[in-house]
Amino acid sequence: MEPRSHDANSIVPILTDLLAHDPSPDMRRTAAMSLGKVADSNGIPALTSALNDEDPLVREYSAWALGQMETELPKHSALSLITTLGDSSTPVKQAAASALRNVVPEEALSNLLRQVLAISEVSTRRAVVQALTELEIPSSYSIFLDAVKDEDARVRQTALAGLGELADRRALIVFRTFLLNDPDEGVRTEAAFRLGILGGKNDVPVLKKAIEADPTPNVHLWASWALKEAASNPD
């Protein structure tokens, strides 16, 4: 154990300097990956800064490396990972979501995500809600309830999907409300789909009303499908 600690103390400063300053993206990528393998907490500040690197693979490897740490990340680093959920690169987003799952306790993560949703611009809000949907954290139910009030239709639709993935039947009233009242076709379609998956006979009247009143073919299609499913599901 002592030689390993000594080696880490020797190499981490070298790796962090390479990650921060080397002009070669290949070298910065190697440094980020190596810091993840060493998993020494002294590498966290440099990896956090590298989430803003111009090279997407450096950002991806840095997010991955943060997820390898054996200690809880400081709030600044966790918030930086959450912001990275809005990255233009899908692999970077996925690495950030995995890192958050690995090193941030559920309660702390939920609280941070709620804060970010309240203050972020739309692309980050979309990414945060999508990540929550994939993480399937039970405590995210109340966050989804806040997100369905978002002015952005994609955020609302993803929040409905997240509620559906939690399979919490308290969300049925939310699906009914948005099926009949949301101005966006995608949101209403998502609500119909989720009622078909999770709903029961009590949802039949709402689905019939949507079929009769909604002029959009896509909503009509999914509400018709959901009606058949809900009618056969137990309440």
Distance CA 28, CA 141 (A): 39
- Better-predicted residue by pLDDT, 102 or 160: 160
What pLDDT shows up at residue 2? 40
Same domain membership, residue 232 and residue 162: no
Q: Are residues 117 and 27 in the same domain?
A: yes
Domain that holds residue 193: 170-235
Last residue of a domain, one of 145, 169, 193: 169
For residue 5, the model assigns a pLDDT of 47
pLDDT at 18: 97
134 falls in which pLDDT band (50, 70, 90)? confident
pLDDT tens-digit map of 9-59: 789 999 999 999 999 999 999 999 999 999 999 999 999 999 999 999 999
Same domain (yes/no): 176, 98: no
Q: Is 222 found in the same domain as 113?
A: no
Shared domain check, 72 and 13: yes
Whether 220 and 163 map to the same domain: the answer is no
Number of domains composing the chain: 2
Same domain assignment for residues 160 and 177: no
Query: The CATH number of the domain where 125 resides is what?
Result: 1.25.10.10
Q: Which residues of 98-117 are buried (b: 16+ CB within 10 A; e: fewer)?
A: bbbbebbeeeebbebbbebb
* pLDDT digit string, tens, across residues 174-185: 999 999 999 999
Regarding whether 192 and 140 lie in a shared domain, the answer is: no
